Amino acid sequence: MNGRALAAFLTGVADVGDGPRGGIVPHRLPGWARVQHDQPDLRWAEGCPAGAALRLRTAASRLVLAIAATAVELDGVTFPDPPVLAVLDGGVTTARPIAPFDVVPVDGPGAPRRNGPAEVVIERPAVDGVVEIRLPHNCRVELLGLEADAPVTRAGEPAGLRWVHYGSSISHCANAPSPDRAWPAQVADALGWRLRNLAFSGNAQLDPFAARVIASADADLITLKVGINLVNADSMRHRAFLPALHGFLDTIREARPETPIVVFTAIACPAQEHTPGPSVMEDGAYRGARRALEADGGALTLARTREVVERVVAARRERDPRLFAVDGRELFGARDAHLLADGLHPTQEGNDLIARRFPGLLPPEALPG
């Protein structure tokens, strides 16, 4: 079948666009939301199909997925190298590299290098079952077609609690070696949940369109991780943050009056705990800005974002008992800071640690049954 036919097999995406090779490009934000910002890094992040998969039922012994993947090149380093997808079949997950792949330079005048597309071969026992092909979480892809030696039908959405998660690069987990190793994916797999991942590296900015996308998604549980990107980008001060968070929650609540919402504050990041943003990369690690402002009392630090989140949730709890706040340092605290690869992003060991801790930190009242 061609790439356009594969749209019917996709889960975890908002819509698809046209690709340069005649296939389809998955998007995590719908088209109407994509025109409401002009951030190149958000364009890239939402086009990386974290949490998205092709779900199909077949008795085929051989599947061949035609796919074009696009990595980025920064300071002469290609990431990811190579792109990887994961195949879940019969309860076993295997990582499959996508090679060759395209490369787009992001910090220089060089032209994109079109090396792909690739064919990913999936050989399996010729027994009827559901095959889930999890798309790369950290690069863009164009789906071009699928060949099989037996009929293929839609498997539909998986069963389980419908979980929508919004967050930053800490939840996007671009450094995870394969899509199943991102901590939200690990949580969903362990609990048998159906994940819709709306984590966008660098862009958990409380954008109004993001709130509307969350509100439009069928969800049994909504979790939000808020704070770090506001400090990283120095995009808000206290004056804007407090009403923006109220407004973000209002938008979701108006559409989802009964759905539990759990707001996680920022995980530990020593460089920004008490130092305002923006974050600055220096010698391979992030640090807070060296600001030369007077009486800068409204600047946000991570500590202050936690205070605001707790204040907002406390103010709403009396009329919204299904709203909860959790201290993100319980997920990943100062004692875990040695697991920050660059002073900001957890290593894979850190991602695994968050995945193990996350379920136990959800308030029991937020879970059905």
Does 37 share its domain with 74? yes
Q: Are residues 116 and 198 in the same domain?
A: no
Please check whether residues 231 and 121 belong to one and the same domain: no
Average pLDDT along the chain? 93
Phi, psi for residue 279 in degrees, rounded to 5: -75, 140
Q: Give the separation between CA 251 and CA 188, rounded to whole angstroms.
A: 25
Extract the tokens encoding 153: 């039908």
Predicted local confidence at residue 109, as pLDDT: 66
Residues 329 and 232 in one domain: yes
pTM of the model: 0.94
Residue-wise pLDDT tens digits, 230-279: 999 999 999 999 999 999 999 999 999 999 999 999 999 998 888 877 76
Same domain, 86 and 188: no
Tokens linked to 352: 């695994």
- Positions of the chain with pLDDT lower than 70, given as ranges: 108-109, 279-287, 289-295, 369
Rounded CA-CA distance 131/124 in Å is: 10
CATH code of the domain covering residue 43: 2.60.120.260
Whether residue 196 sits in one domain with residue 332: yes
List the domain range (segments joined by +) for residue 172.
162-366
Query: What is the model's pLDDT at position 284?
Result: 66
Residue with tokens 């597309």: 117
Predicted pLDDT of residue 307: 97
Chosen domain end from 135, 154, 173: 154
Q: Rounded CA gap, 94 and 188, in Å?
A: 17
Looking at the fold, whether 51 and 184 belong to one and the same domain comes out as no
Count of the separate structural domains present in the chain: 2
- State whether 240 and 315 are in the same domain: yes
The answer on 56 and 139 residing in a single domain is yes
